[in-house]
Amino acid sequence: MSRLLLGIFVSCFSLHVHAAVSLLGPNEQASNVFKQANQTHLDTDNSQSAIKGLDTSPNSELGVGERLLSRLSWPVQASRESALVLKAEDYQVRYPDLQQSIQYFHPDSLWYGYPQARNTRDQLQWMLLEFSLAGGPKQLSDWLAQINAINNDNPQWEALYTDAFLGLMAFCQQLMRLDYAQSMALNNITATPLVILIDEPWLAHLSRADLYQQLSSMRGELNIERLRYRQQILHWLNVQQQRKQQVNIASGPLISLNSRDWRVPLIRQRLAEFDIANQFADLQLATMDADTVIALKRFQTQHGLKADGIVGSDTLYWLNFKPVNRSKMLARNLLRKQLLERFMLSSNQQRIMVNVPAYQMTYLDKDSEVFQSKVVVGRASRATPLLVSEISSVVINPYWNVPRTIVRKDIIPKLRRDPAYVDQQRFELFDYQGQAVPSEQIDWTRVKDTGAFPYRMRQRPGPGNALGAYKFHFDNQFAVYLHDTSSPELFSEQQRAFSSGCVRVEAADYLAETLLKQAGYSEQYKQRLIAKGEPKWVPLKQKVPVYLVYFTSWFDGSGGLHYRKDIYNFASVDSFLAS
């Protein structure tokens, strides 16, 4: 099969990647399904239909997305601990016993000598790239660097590809052992041991066709979203290569419309790298013109910043974000999405997704968005736990049972200064036998904010209650929930990590209305309960799944790409592979 070279790759992606590639299989029609992910797409459905029309069977070469990578210059160079070899006989096999067994059962090559062999090798190379960038074990990037350095059409490198395949299988086996929170955080996968468990019958039945299917199962569904992730991963790796050096835009005075500043040309360059739609008449102009401000506002929106067209410290953070670290962020979130599928409760059509670093809640029905809401999540020292559960009840006019951590760290210091704070905030105190304790009987100056607190504290429903008018209960070991709030002013902030772990919902009233409606309760019923001012647990007829997820990059419904800060520092730059 003839290979389309770099020029076609550039025309499809509108970017330059140093790779010799072929986008289409022998029986496929040319179709430009790749769109610049940072632009708004009006033809998403058409793109999806183009993907669904492909023949993905192992007997035909999957055209779109599989041949994008035949020689990629990442990692830039091998580490000192793992020098590259130039001859196949010098390669040190990592899994010698398994390799010997594979040769016994399959004397013919698994990686060369049949029509789909090149496609299978390309797929393996893709998986090494994605898992390495996502923060996987260093050995994965070492295999990728070695494959990038060789003539991969030479069948003498069979052992290298088999080793890399077995290593990928070992990594995926370990990923399947992660629980939900670990699958979202992905904060220790670099240390994952590449120990593989394979039985002899599996080896005996392994075939060339099975090889591709195994890789496909590791990869997940090849849909339009994955293709967009791959496009952006390659884009930012290429930008990293194109930059002669990483020059940060220096901090300094705010830059706004008509400001004249020596940093403006570099700002313009970064905006052009971020979105090919950003075309500027004069890149070197030192004045902040209207076109640059418009592009900057789009950039700020896609990073969760206030779209004011002013360059300040938060905007500089993202303008200076290393391109290779964008690729790593994208790969990490692509892996999160793949792992999330294991935990989706498919039997339920409605669900709630709370994306913690985006400070956003989305209510979905049959994968269609019903509404979104801003949320407030836990600060870094009291992080919102990542979990999956089901909302079983809406509590109207809830009591707030104050967690002991908040009592010790927040409330007791205030009570030492002003004992009347208990009554002002309408708190009630109980001993552990359930007997009410008048607050005036307690000498708060003698109560320590460390160790056991001898009382339970709760806040009565009504004005000033920290949970507001609604609490959305779901079972979990952390005693967290979604709820209304008596401090709505915090929703006006761009960064909203203020709580002690629970999730405050700006559209709590509409969420309550939606949940109660599907349970058969009217709006009038809800309003009557609120007017009474008494706590009322209203059970739902059908529980609604709720997922507290952690995506620092994602594509919206129109294909626009968004980035957010890693507010809990799960994937600090230091933990990534060396740039």
Contacts of residue 165, Cβ cutoff 8 Å, sequence gap at least 6: 124, 211, 214, 215
Range(s) within the chain of domains with CATH label 1.10.101.10:
247-321
Both tokens assigned to 438: 């008048």
Q: Of 41, 235, 483, 562, which one is the catalytic site residue?
A: 483
Rounded to an integer, what distance in angstroms lies between the CA atom of residue 30 and that of residue 200?
Answer: 43
Query: Are 544 and 390 in contact, with CB atoms under 8 Å apart?
Result: yes
pTM score above 0.75: yes
How many helices (DSSP H) and strands (DSSP E) are in the chain? Answer: 19, 14
3-class SS letters over 193-260 = CCCCCCCHHHHHHCCHHHHHHHHHHHHCCCCHHHHHHHHHHHHHHHHHHHCCCCCCCCCCCCECCCCE
Both tokens assigned to 269: 């360059």
Question: What angle in degrees, to the nearest 10, is found between the helix axes of 117-133 and 138-149?
Answer: 140
Q: Of 41, 235, 502, 562, which one is the catalytic site residue?
A: 502
Give the pLDDT confidence of 299-326 residue by residue, as tens digits.
Answer: 999 999 999 999 999 999 999 999 999 9
The backbone torsions φ and ψ at residue 34, rounded to the nearest 5 degrees and listed phi first, read -90, 120
Longest dimension (CA), the chain: 87
Both tokens assigned to 340: 């999330």
Query: Are 485 and 508 in contact, with CB atoms under 8 Å apart?
Result: yes
What region does 308 belong to: left with phi over 0, alpha with psi -120 to 50, or beta?
Answer: alpha
The backbone torsions φ and ψ at residue 214, rounded to the nearest 5 degrees and listed phi first, read -60, -45
Sign of the C-alpha dihedral computed for residues 112, 113, 118 and 123 taken in this order: negative
Question: What angle in degrees, to the nearest 10, is found between the helix axes of 224-242 and 323-340?
Answer: 160
**How many CB atoms are closer than 10 A to CB 477?**
8
Both tokens assigned to 147: 């494959």
Which pLDDT value is given to residue 450?
Answer: 65
Both tokens assigned to 568: 């809990």
Following CA atoms 281, 284, 290, 296 in sequence, which dihedral angle do they give, to the nearest 10 degrees? 110
Residues in the chain: 579
The backbone torsions φ and ψ at residue 297, rounded to the nearest 5 degrees and listed phi first, read -65, -40
Please choose, from the candidates 427, 434, 485, the residue with its C-alpha nearest in 3D space to the C-alpha of residue 458: 427
Rounded to an integer, what distance in angstroms lies between the CA atom of residue 497 and that of residue 513?
Answer: 26
Range(s) within the chain of domains with CATH label 2.40.440.10:
348-399+461-563
Active-site residue, 172 included: no
Rounded to an integer, what distance in angstroms lies between the CA atom of residue 288 and that of residue 258?
Answer: 5
Task: Give CA separation, 76 vs 71, 238, 251, in Å.
Answer: 12, 11, 29
Query: Are 234 and 220 in contact, with CB atoms under 8 Å apart?
Result: no
Beta bridge partners, 503, equal 482
**How many CB atoms are closer than 10 A to CB 306?**
14
Task: Give CA separation, 31 vs 133, 345, 535, in Å.
Answer: 28, 35, 59
Rounded to an integer, what distance in angstroms lies between the CA atom of residue 102 and that of residue 203?
Answer: 6
DSSP string, 69-114: -SS---SSS--TTS---SSGGG---S-HHHHHHHHHH--S-SSSSS
CATH code at 247-321: 1.10.101.10
Which pLDDT value is given to residue 46?
Answer: 36
Which pLDDT value is given to residue 314?
Answer: 96
Element (H, E) at 20: none
Rounded to an integer, what distance in angstroms lies between the CA atom of residue 136 and that of residue 340?
Answer: 17
Q: Which residue do the tokens 């960038």 mark? A: 133
Question: Which residue type occupies 177?
Answer: R
Q: Which residue do the tokens 């670099």 mark? A: 190
Element (H, E) at 266: helix 264-274
Fold for the domain defined by 348-399+461-563 = L,D-transpeptidase catalytic domain-like (2.40.440)
Contacts of residue 185, Cβ cutoff 8 Å, sequence gap at least 6: 386, 550, 568, 570
Following CA atoms 215, 220, 225, 228 in sequence, which dihedral angle do they give, to the nearest 10 degrees? -20
- The low-confidence residues of the chain, meaning pLDDT below 70, are 1-82, 346-348, 449-451, 573-579
Rounded to an integer, what distance in angstroms lies between the CA atom of residue 199 and that of residue 197?
Answer: 7
Rounded to an integer, what distance in angstroms lies between the CA atom of residue 372 and that of residue 360?
Answer: 7
- What secondary structure letter does DSSP report for 402? -
Please choose, from the candidates 150, 91, 153, the residue with its C-alpha nearest in 3D space to the C-alpha of residue 118: 153
Both tokens assigned to 138: 């260093």
Query: Are 340 and 182 in contact, with CB atoms under 8 Å apart?
Result: no
Please choose, from the candidates 276, 47, 236, the residue with its C-alpha nearest in 3D space to the C-alpha of residue 129: 236
Q: Which residue do the tokens 């779209």 mark? A: 307
